[in-house]
Amino acid sequence: MRFDGRVALVTGGSRGIGRAIVESLAAEGAKVAFVYASNASAAEELVKSIESSGGTVLGIQADVRKKADADRAVDQVVETFGKIDILVNNAGIVRDTLVATMPEEKWRDVIETNLNSVYNFCHAVMRPMMSARYGRIVNMSSVAARMSNQGQAAYAASKGGIESFTKCLAVEVAKRGITVNAVAPGFIVTDMTEAVRSAAEDKILKEIPTKRLGQTSDIANAVLFLADEKTSYITGDVITVDGGLTLGGL
């Protein structure tokens, strides 16, 4: 129970990687709040699941693109649990389209959801974390930030921005006992990747040295490592969890 007494907030927490992170934090003793966009049934099911296992959890509906919603969510966590120790910025979407045919609204939707939300929630937790002189912030990047894939200009730009933001914020808050790191998943088995897996799983596996697709638990384990009190000397870093995909072949 390494997170006993800690309070965590996870954005995009009702499904996929976010859900695995919420479940893992709760299983390790943290009181966990999570933000979801609109799928109330999935959020309710997750709350019931964690509470039935003896965990403490709070679901919050919010639009991560809106600063006011981020402020409200953080205020609700602090009001409910008294503090906030851990923030995991996991919310993200994919709208893959070639730049030449990409409508402006798709570009804005990806940047606002993936990148602007990280600013929104990091800014919102600054006051409580700096006052406590303690905090763990983990932002979700992607190997797409360092790989050139057709149709992923918006997604790659948002994730590259997250990595740069992570490093800059880490320097700004290091003296306050706050660490800021990122996790960059490779190809993970989620609903978001189902279509690609159905079309090209064999080809993808040939590019991964470990010869398996990643599981949501692989990402959750990396997040928990960075969220731990004992990893206080790691900040401004990006941990790649991709089975060796970005090594260029072995």
**pLDDT digit string, tens, across residues 94-147:** 999 999 999 999 999 999 999 999 999 999 999 999 999 999 999 999 999 998
- Above 80 in pLDDT, residue 248? no
For the chain, the domains span: 7-187+217-241
DSSP H/E element including 41 = helix 40-52
What does the pLDDT read at residue 195?
Answer: 67
HSE-up of residue 172 (Cα within 13 Å, Cβ side): 13
Does residue 29 contact residue 109 with C-beta atoms inside 8 Å? no
Maximum CA extent, the chain: 51
Portion of the chain with pLDDT greater than 90, in percent: 88
R_g of the chain computed on alpha carbons: 17
CA distance 219 to 151: 24
CATH superfamily ID and name for 7-187+217-241: NAD(P)-binding Rossmann-like Domain (3.40.50.720)
Cβ neighbour number for residue 143 with a 10 Å cutoff: 18
CA distance 149 to 16: 22
CA distance 243 to 225: 17
- Above 60 in pLDDT, residue 217? yes
CA distance 66 to 54: 32
So which residues are the catalytic ones? 155
CA distances to 32, 42, 88 from 84, in Å = 10, 24, 11
pTM score of the predicted model: 0.94
Does residue 13 contact residue 19 with C-beta atoms inside 8 Å? yes
pLDDT tens, position by position, 9-29: 999 999 999 999 999 999 999
Helices (H) and strands (E) in the chain, counts: 8, 7
How much is the mean pLDDT over the chain? Answer: 94
What does the pLDDT read at residue 130?
Answer: 98
pLDDT tens, position by position, 49-70: 999 999 999 999 999 999 999 9
Retrieve residue 98's tokens: 């070639």
Does residue 84 contact residue 36 with C-beta atoms inside 8 Å? no
pLDDT band (50, 70, 90) for residue 192: confident
pLDDT band (50, 70, 90) for residue 250: very low
Backbone angles phi, psi at 157, to 5 degrees: -65, -40
3-state secondary structure of 228: coil
- Above 80 in pLDDT, residue 201? no
pLDDT tens, position by position, 33-51: 999 999 999 999 999 999 9
**Interior CA angle at 247 toward 140 and 194, to 5°?**
50
